[in-house]
Every structure is written in C-alpha cells, then in structure tokens.
Structure 1
Amino acid sequence: MTRQAPTPEAREVARAAARWLAMIESGEEGVDHVALQRWRDSNAEHEAAWQKAQQLRQRFAGVPPSLGMATLDRPALARRAVLKRALGVAALVPTAWLLGRELPLDVWRADLHTATGEQRRWTLADGSSLQLNTDSAVDLDLKARRLVLVRGEISLRVSGTTPLAVQGPYGVITIDRSEACIRLDERSCHASVLSGSVLLQPLRGPAVTLEAGQQIDLQASGAGPVDRFDVAQLGWREGLLVAQDQPLGDFLRELDRYRPGVLRWDETLESLRVTGSFRLDNTDRILALLSASLPLEVQMRTRYWVTLTRRKNIA
C-alpha cells in the first residue's frame, strides 16, 4: 500500500522543528532560545511539531542504551523488523538519528535509507544496482518487481530479465535493462536516463518513453517536456558536487541537502559564480573553499547553524 505523502508545508515545519531540536541536543552554546520560542508562538502547527519532536525524544529516553544500540547496529532490513516488533519505531530511534533524518515516520520504517550527507549502494538479488543519495528512503518488493521511492534520490541500474517499476507520488517509472536517476522533491519527481530507455506513466496524461541522455519532470498535473541533461548533475554518485559557472545561491541550495542543521546566506551572495568539483564527504571544507575563493565569510554559531555573509572590505 502506498503511503500518503505529507504536504510540502508539513515537511518544512517538521524539518524546522527537528533542526531546532538538533541544535539543543548538540549541547553546544549559542542556541537562540528566544528565537525558538518566537518560532513556536508564531503558528499552532509549529508548536504541534515541536511537541511531537519532544515526545519522540522523551520516549527514547526510557529505552536502555544497550537495546537501542543493538537495534541500530543491525543490517537495515533486520533492523526494520526489530523496530516494528518493539515498542514502536519512534521509541527506539535515538534523538540524534531523528534529527539527522528530519523526516516523518514513513521514512524511518522504509526498507533502505540514508542519513543526511550519506550515499550508499546495494546490489539487489537479481544483480541490479541501487544507490541512494543523501537523506533518501525506499521500500522494496522484489517479488512484485516494485520499488517505492519514499524520499530523496536514487540511481538504479536494472540488469535482470524482468523490468523493475519505481513508484512515486506522481506516477510509475518502469526500468528494463537500463540505468536511471530519480529525484523526488516537494512538488515533482525528476527522472534522468543514463543508458537504455525507460517508460514513464504519469498519474495524469499519456505514457512517455525516455531515452539515454534525456530527462523529464513528473508532477501532479502530468509529465513536463523532455529535455537533455548534463551528466555532471549526477556527480553525487561518485561523492562529488560539481558546479560549472553556477550561481552561488543554486549551489548552496544543493549543498544544503548534504548538511544537517541550518545553512543560511545573505541574498547579496546569490549571484556570485562557482566552478569546481567538491567532495561531499566534508561539507565544512566546501564552505572553507568557498570562503577562500569568494568574497564571503563563514560564521558558525554551532555545528548545526551556519551563516554565510559577504566579506567587508578592509581599508
């Protein structure tokens, strides 16, 4: 059964609540409690999300550490079964994991998932290769030849004799001896084909066949236009974030996907240009490289709250 996806607004509120809790749980100084209270008071949904986050933390506080660690040390599929048999998934998820995920419970129950900043690769039983990008989750049903993209971004190369269908909130993508990348965000599902061809069936409108080197967006209203794509956009599969004369604002929005916590920047930095290949296993170093090559300063209030400002000219 397909789970109903939270609305974009609900996801954003959940992320904000988790980020605030992450800063508090980090134990570092500099957390702006006044700003937190202002955020909670500004909207009833903010306060409700904050209370849910607190409840999850309190529920885990009563679980013996040995039980929690033993559960989290298990392989992904075994861990999922253990969590469901125990006090409930939320009761066994440590606060740090909750905050790193910044997600609703449907992701915690997923068969395979990655934390923020993590990429992982699996070889499926039929020899197909599945790779998850940062902050992603999928459910697998290989008997039905189906994969449900719950969140985030995947790269899938199907090498078996039977097609594998990727189901998302905006339609179904069928991959047969082909390789494709699929990225889900709040309002669309973006599909790019690296080799072979795939069949896309939107929720509305006719099916579309996508060939190697082509990309398309699936939305609630149907499929968008077919376009070409730059393979550099898929550098994450090699652990790289690649930019070619890219506006800094767009680069930072992409970088933000790989960093837990809050990343903010002045609007005056948006139009600066970035070129280079950056390793995603150390995003602090990426920020340092930006500071060394562009007129900006990195201000770290805590490990989880970073602000970029334009460097002032010193006479």
Structure 2
Amino acid sequence: PRSRVNRTRRAFLGGAVAAAAGGWLMARSPLGMWPEMDALGADFRTATGEQRTLDIQGVAVAMGTRTDLRRVDGGTGLQLGQGEAQFSVPARGSAGVAIHVDGARVTPAAGTRINVRCVGADVRVTCLAGTATLTRGTRTVTLQPGWQARLGGDRIASVAQVATDRIDAWRQGWLVADDQPLAEVVDEINRYRPGRIVITGAALQARRVQARIPLRDLDTFIDLVRDVYGARVVNMPGGVVLLG
C-alpha cells in the first residue's frame, strides 16, 4: 500500500543521493587521502609525502609529492597533470624531449634542468640550469638559469628572475616560506602531510611567515604557529589539526 510505496521511494532516493555523494567523494579528496580521479590514469604518480626519482628515456625525473605524469607524443614527451617535478636532460642524448603542462610546451636543451609546478592555478616553469624554450599559444620565450615563467589563463602571464634555492628546496628536504601568508604556507604543507591543517581564523590566515620547515617533521610548524602567534591547536582524528 501507500506507506510501502513511500518507504520504497525514500529508499531509492536515499540510495541515489548516497551513490552521487560517493561518486563525488571518489572524484574529490578534500583531505588528500587518495588520488584525484584524473591522477589514477597517470603512468607515474606519487602519494602524499612521497618523492620518486625515475629515468624516462634518458631524462632524470624527480617527482615531488602528489604528482602525476603521463607519456604523450607517442611516448617521447611527458605531461605534468598536477604536482611538481624536476627534469634533468643530459648533456648528450634525449634531443627533442618535451614537457607539457597546462596547455604549454617546454623544450629543454641538452644539459638543462627545469622545475615544473602545477598546483591548482599556480603553474610555473623555472630554469635551474641550461636553457629551455616555453611555448603557449602564439608566444614563445627562452628561459635562462634563474628565470621563471608563470602561466595564467591561456597565456604566459609573466617572466622574471627568482631565487632558485627556494625553488630547489623540496629536493633538499625543506619547505621554505619567504614572507608568505600563513594560509598559503599551510596549503603547501597539506600537500606533504597526511590529514589536513585547517586555519579557523581569518586574521591568522593573513599573518606573514618566514620559515624553513623540514619535510621530514612538518608538525614542528604547528608548534611554531602555536608559540609565535599564540594559536590554539586542536588535534582531531585522521591527522586533522585546527589552528585558531
């Protein structure tokens, strides 16, 4: 009768909502506890806090945390989906290798080392040694050592000199904050640390940070924020920490 039909309808609708929510959770991992759906089809990927070194067709590749790479161009090129990686081309060989990121093509010369980062809207290509040609749309630039190009929208947004020691810090086991908002630093820490650090106050998010944080012990940063800014620390299950 009517009551049975209503129960069946509620059960069906409830199951549909649960399935939809489950599909969304599988596609999006707010705590970074599993890879995004796009990363699951990558040829190479790293988990939270993991780094990996590879030799791909003579190119030395160092993958940072939560990074995915795919072979493209018939296997002769590499595409960085999300994350950060360094590519070192030997002085001889591996001619013509290309790295693709966010619609741009990077062609490093022999003997070149470049750092490529694509984390959300933060897309940068930094030349650490040698030279690399970056093409996006109708614009092409040649990057010399110490020069970085930022990509924005569908264009090369800017090209400028940067401090390469900060760019290279993750390879040495450090995360360097150079007068950055606390919220920005925490976002980067969350890429390396299981669980999540959440800042609950807008004023605390805006505080500027100058720090050198060891990747092997990121929780020392939580102690730093508590001691320097007087933040209240609440530890929750699953590695979630509230700072307020």
| Superposition pairs of residues 48-63 of structure 1, within 5 angstroms | 50-52=21-23
Equivalent of 1:121, from 53, 58, 61? 53
Shift in alpha-carbon separation, 1:194–1:50, aligned structure 2, 3 A: same
Q: What is the letter of the counterpart of residue 135 of structure 2?
A: Q
Show CA shifts across 1:208-254 (max 9, x none): 11111111122342111211112213311112111234332222222
- Give the structure 2 partner of residue 61 of structure 1: none
Note the alpha carbon deviations across 1:31-69, whole angstroms, 9 max, x for none.
xxxxxxxxxx9xx9x966522267x7xxxxxxxxxxxxx
Asked if structure 1 preserves the Cα contact closer than 8 Å seen for 2:115 and 2:167, the reply is: no
In structure 2, stretches of 5+ residues that fail to align are 1-13
Length-normalised TM-score, structure 1? 0.63
Is residue 201 from structure 1 mapped to residue 132 from structure 2 by the alignment? no
CA distance in 1 between partners of 2:121 and 2:177 (Å): 24
The residue that corresponds to 1:308 in the other structure is 243
SS at match of 2:216: coil
Residue of structure 2 equivalent to 1:174:
107
Residues 177-227 of structure 1: CA distance to partner in whole angstroms, max 9, x if unpaired? 21111111333531111011111110x222111111111122342111211
Alpha carbons of 1:51 and 1:268: their partners in 2 closer, same or farther (altered >3 Å)?
same
Tell me the CA shift for residue 144 of structure 1: 4.3
* 1:234–1:297 distance in 2 versus 1, CA, 3 Å: farther
Q: CA, structure 1 residues 49+196, in 2 after alignment: closer, same or farther (shift >3 Å)? A: farther
1:268 paired to 2:239:
no
Query: Does the CA-based 8 Å contact 1:193-1:214 persist in structure 2?
Result: yes
- Confirm whether residue 147 of structure 1 aligns to residue 118 of structure 2: no
Length, aligned pairs only: 223
TM-align CA RMSD = 2.9
Listed as ranges, the matches of 1:200-239 within 5 Å are 200-202=134-136, 204-231=137-164, 232-239=166-173
Question: Given that residues 170 and 188 in structure 1 are in contact (C-alpha distance below 8 angstroms), is that contact kept between their aligned partners in structure 2?
Answer: no
Q: Do the aligned partners of 1:137 and 1:151 also contact (CA within 8 Å) in 2?
A: yes
Q: In 2, Cα distance between the equivalents of 1:233 and 1:219?
A: 19
* Partner Cα distance (2:161, 2:236) in 1: 41
Distance 1:169 1:289 in 2: 35
Q: Using the alignment, how far apart are the partners of 1:48 and 1:208 within structure 2?
A: 47
Give the 5 Å matches for 1:89-168: 100-104=33-37, 106-126=38-58, 128-140=59-71, 144-159=75-90, 160-161=92-93, 162-168=95-101
Tell me how far 1:108 sits from its aligned partner: 1.7
Which of structures 1 and 2 has the bigger CA Rg?
Answer: 2
Structure 1 residue 269, shift from structure 2 partner: 0.9
Question: Which aligned runs of 4 or more in structure 1 are off by greater than 4 angstroms?
Answer: 46-49, 141-144
Cα deviation 1:277-308 (Å, max 9, x = unaligned): 21112222321233233321221122332210
The reply on whether 1:255 has 2:186 as its aligned counterpart is no
> Any conservation in 2 of the 1:112–1:137 contact (CA below 8 Å)?
yes
**Identity within the alignment, %:** 26
Q: Which has the higher strand share?
A: 2
2:221 counterpart SS class: helix
Structure 1 gaps of 5+ residues are 1-40, 57-89, 91-95, 310-315
How far the C-alpha of 1:143 sits from its partner, in A, is: 6.8
More helix by share: 1
